Amino acid sequence: MARTGVRAVVGYTRQVYWHESAAFDLTLLPELLDDTDPKNVYGRLVKRHPYFVDGLGLRIATATWVSPRTRTAA
């Protein structure tokens, strides 16, 4: 991350259908633009869109924090 200057890496850990990932990407991108703290973004997405977070296997990683591999049910 230091070499490239990226703040975070965002991706999916599961095999995804393009239409599901595209639909969620339209929700994910504005969240990333509106908040500079990926941990906050992940928390909001888990709360608002658990189907996509769990189904796609959303992971966000920064130099100091990584979202959980699996999520416990709320």
- Tens digit of each residue's pLDDT (9 = 90 or more) over 28-68: 999 999 999 999 999 999 999 999 999 999 999 999 999 99
The 8-class DSSP code of residue 63 comes to S
Non-local (6+) Cβ contacts of 16 within 8 A are 56, 57
CB 36 within 8 A of CB 58: no
Full-model pTM: 0.86
Tokens of 9: 């890496």
Res 72: pLDDT:
65
Distance CA(69)–CA(30), nearest Å, equals 23
